[in-house]
Amino acid sequence: MTDKKENILHAALELFAKDGYNATPTSKIAKQAGVSEGLIFRHFGNKKGLLQALIEDAETRMGELLAPVIFESDPKMVIRKIITLPFSIDRSEYDFWKLQFKIKWEEEYNNPNKMKPLIDKLAWAFSELGFDGPEEEALLLNQIIDSISISILRDGVEPQASFQSFLLEKYNV
Amino acid sequence: MTDKKENILHAALELFAKDGYNATPTSKIAKQAGVSEGLIFRHFGNKKGLLQALIEDAETRMGELLAPVIFESDPKMVIRKIITLPFSIDRSEYDFWKLQFKIKWEEEYNNPNKMKPLIDKLAWAFSELGFDGPEEEALLLNQIIDSISISILRDGVEPQASFQSFLLEKYNV
DNA sequence: CGCTTTAAAGTGAGCGCTTACTTTTTTATT
DNA sequence: AATAAAAAAGTAAGCGCTCACTTTAAAGCG
């Protein structure tokens, strides 16, 4: 990966996250990346290809982020780890995750089943802990995590340690 | 409001909700509305004005939807009504609400404080019911409602009566 | 090593097309 | 015929993308 190629990815990420994919012209990306417009197309084929590269990158990272939860064997720790997750996103990666959430609203990129393995794991954990309706609990917690992430990324809400504690206590983990 | 003006609003709503604002040309809106393109600009000035009209309409409707919750005096009923809300959205209005949620990702249209009155009311209800940390509970429930709406509108998840019951029981309302 | 050849990376002008919006022409109504 | 509403035609800017070309890096070889 050359420097300029990475510059393009970085600029595109920032602009897509802020203004949206369709509202961001390739000319603007090139300008911000300090690169000729043509180079975008040499490296990524077309504008969609550039977005695709960002998405694939994200899928890898999402997998890495969820791995410690999926492979955790202590049910309490599963719940604890998933609750902690959105509060531990690094600021420098906000744009990165914001784009992922934003893109879910574009039909062709949204895959509601992507979270299935996580939800299954949560259901298992709740079941182990003797909750009534572990599937429903899993679904609910997944949605809570989702919505916390959204409030942080979209609304710019400061991640509140107190709210994290509140959740940890609520689930007793 | 003439018929054609309403046709334009209806077509724009559908297309904006499906493809997004920027990806929807006015020519397509006109075609779907069975109207000449110029008429859009006669009625709404410009494309943004058309979007604005849809947003203003939504704000009114949102107020109407939340009024029964805000003015409810029984704390249990406050919780019950807000939980029931996302499950009672009429299918014919999915596009309408989908657009509202989609638009929150555009910085200039997102106003995180819009839900303040509702959250305050929920906090009051939880306080009345003797919950620990009523503010946190209010925030949490508001986010749950938000994420349920999203899963229905964005992911096309069928509203599950069983999940609604699960929540009502969980909150004992 | 030095020299040549090939390949890869990078440039920027510009093309064809679509877009939001405007102006002109037609149609309908009183 | 006069006026307003709608349709049709037109415009200019901006878009994604191509392409002919230059520069830089890598590979082949005596």
Is A146–B148 a contact, with Cβ atoms under 8 angstroms apart? no
Residue B108: its pLDDT value, please?
Answer: 83
DSSP B133: S
Distance in Å, alpha carbon of A2 to nearest chain B alpha carbon: 32
* Neighbouring C-alpha atoms within 13 Å toward the C-beta of B124: 15
User: Percent of chain B having pLDDT more than 70?
Assistant: 99
Q: What is the pLDDT of residues B64-115, one digit of tens each?
A: 999 999 999 999 999 999 999 999 999 999 999 999 999 999 878 888 889 9
Residue A170: its pLDDT value, please?
Answer: 94
Nearest by CB to B144, from A20, A110, A147: name it. Answer: A147
CB A97 within 8 A of CB A149: yes
Is A105–B20 a contact, with Cβ atoms under 8 angstroms apart? yes
Q: In the block, which residue shows the tokens 């947003």?
A: B55
Separation between the CA of A8 and the C1’ of C2 (whole angstroms): 37
Residue A110: its pLDDT value, please?
Answer: 84
Q: What is the pLDDT of residues A34-85, one digit of tens each?
A: 999 999 999 999 999 999 999 999 999 999 999 999 999 999 999 999 999 9
Within its chain, how far is the Cα of B76 from the centroid? 23
Average pLDDT, chain B: 94
Coil, strand or helix: which one is A142?
helix
User: Percent of chain B having pLDDT more than 90?
Assistant: 89
Q: Write the CB contacts of A70 (distance below 8 Å, at least 6 apart in sequence).
A: A117, A118, A121
Residue B2: pLDDT over 80 = no
* H or E element at residue B16: helix B3-19
Residue A140: its pLDDT value, please?
Answer: 96
* H or E element at residue A164: helix A161-170
Question: Tokens standing for B11?
Answer: 């077509």
Residue B145: pLDDT over 90 = yes
Separation between the CA of A145 and the C1’ of D9 (whole angstroms): 54
Nucleotide nearest to A41 (CA to C1'): D17
Residue A109: its pLDDT value, please?
Answer: 84
Residue range B51-69: mean pLDDT, rounded: 93
Separation between the CA of B4 and the C1’ of D7 (whole angstroms): 13
Residue A108: its pLDDT value, please?
Answer: 82
Is A18–B107 a contact, with Cβ atoms under 8 angstroms apart? yes
Q: Which residues touch strand D (CB under 7 A)?
A: A 24-28, 37-38, 41-42, 46-48; B 2, 4, 34-39, 42
Within 8 A of B100 by CB-CB distance, chain A residues are: none
